[in-house]
């Protein structure tokens, strides 16, 4: 027992040293103002990687005999209850309250992986999108591909366009799709490297559903920036992100058919990159309406902690011990007419 305690302290000390103080100071100032009392418990989780959790999303295209019983033996339980407004039967995801990671699977060309390890909160944007068979779907900022894989666990789109502007991340996306999706279905997927801000002009009113999982100031990874100079530069450039996010969102609205819906998500707590971007969209664009997400929030309230006081069309998942999911911001809009 004492040895494990010693090892735990050593691990904590090692990880503690890696926290980038300049980022933590910046977050401390911003988030204590924006989140109030909730910030201290969120900070405790974000700065303690040993208490982070990973969920296991099963791949419906891969037969993995004994996988679910093995997960049950290790204390895993289904994350999403059947009572959710939208939960396709093939969509199966497991987690446990204990921290730690289920073993990862290596990429093997020609062989499908049985599961995908991820932060369970990152599945909420996909479930909010409510993709149905035969719909034309765009994942505007798709790398590394977890949400694209999750969309295909829900339904079989008529056409699925996965876009990633960054060259390196685009290759990562292609490998993820190859690892999880069988050949016949891969033929329905287009992977492109377009500037997401231009897709609305290139494909106006083409898609039924659009996911904008926007580039953002990733709170978890930024806190552990190894290079303090890079961290300072990131924090200086942070102010420009909301402008990019708004342009991506505007492009997504252009790409939507009237009656279609989009989900906007980030993995930051920052109000400037979340509610402010959505509010600007709603105030400047007459043909989009907010969509109520409170039914989904109620359905998953056992598994996730949400910031109170948000509007009905948005959710912000706050990490806490035992439910260390998020941060994840989710908002849903519907296009009501042509531009």
Give me the active site residues, please.
Answer: 267
* 142 annotated as a binding-site residue: yes
* 14 annotated as a binding-site residue: no
* 213 annotated as a binding-site residue: yes
Q: Interior CA angle at 8 toward 3 and 13, to 5°?
A: 125
- What is the DSSP code (8-state) at residue 100? B
CB–CB of 109/178 below 8 Å? yes
Tokens linked to 89: 């039967």
* 13 annotated as a binding-site residue: no
* 166 annotated as a binding-site residue: no
Distances (CA, A) of 25 to 225, 267, 268, 316: 13, 19, 16, 22
CB–CB of 325/319 below 8 Å? yes
* 255 annotated as a binding-site residue: no
* 292 annotated as a binding-site residue: no
Dihedral through CA 180, CA 184, CA 188, CA 194, nearest 10?
A: 50
Specify the 3-state DSSP secondary structure of 165: coil
* 143 annotated as a binding-site residue: yes
* 295 annotated as a binding-site residue: no
* 146 annotated as a binding-site residue: yes
The b-or-e profile of 45-60 (16+ CB within 10 A means b, else e) is bbbbbebbbbbbbbbe
Q: List residues forming the annotated binding site for S-adenosyl-L-methionine.
A: 141-147, 164, 195, 213
Q: List residues forming the annotated binding site.
A: 141-147, 164, 195, 213
């Amino acid at each position: 027992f004492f040895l494990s305690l010693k090892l735990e302290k050593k691990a904590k000390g090692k990880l503690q040293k890696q926290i980038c103080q300049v980022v933590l100071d910046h977050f401390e100032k911003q988030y204590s103002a924006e989140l109030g009392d909730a910030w201290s418990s969120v900070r405790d989780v974000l700065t303690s990687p040993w208490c982070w959790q990973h969920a296991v999303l099963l791949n419906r295209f891969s037969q993995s005999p004994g996988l679910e019983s093995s997960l049950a033996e290790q204390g895993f339980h289904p994350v999403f209850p059947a009572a959710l407004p939208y939960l396709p039967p093939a969509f199966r995801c497991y987690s446990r309250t204990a921290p730690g990671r289920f073993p990862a699977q290596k990429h093997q060309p020609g062989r499908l992986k049985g599961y995908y390890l991820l932060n369970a909160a990152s599945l909420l944007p996909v479930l909010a999108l409510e993709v149905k068979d035969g719909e034309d779907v765009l994942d505007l900022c798709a790398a590394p591909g977890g949400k694209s894989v999750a969309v295909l666990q829900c339904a079989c789109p008529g056409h699925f366009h996965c876009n990633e502007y960054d060259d390196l991340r685009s290759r990562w996306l292609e490998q993820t799709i190859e690892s999880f999706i069988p050949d016949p279905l891969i033929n329905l997927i287009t992977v492109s490297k377009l500037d997401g801000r231009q897709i609305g002009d290139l494909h106006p009113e083409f898609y039924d559903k659009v996911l904008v999982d926007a580039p953002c100031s990733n709170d978890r990874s930024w806190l552990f920036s190894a290079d303090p100079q890079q961290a300072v530069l990131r924090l200086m450039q942070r102010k420009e992100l909301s402008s990019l996010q708004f342009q991506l969102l505007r492009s997504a609205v252009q790409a939507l058919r009237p009656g279609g819906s989009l989900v906007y998500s980030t993995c930051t707590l920052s109000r400037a990159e979340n509610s402010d971007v959505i509010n600007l969209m709603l105030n400047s664009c007459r043909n989009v309406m907010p969509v109520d997400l409170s039914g989904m929030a109620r359905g998953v309230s056992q598994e996730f902690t949400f910031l109170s006081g948000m509007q009905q069309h948005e959710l912000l998942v706050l990490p806490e011990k035992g439910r260390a999911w998020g941060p994840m911001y989710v908002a849903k809009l519907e296009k009501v007419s042509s531009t």
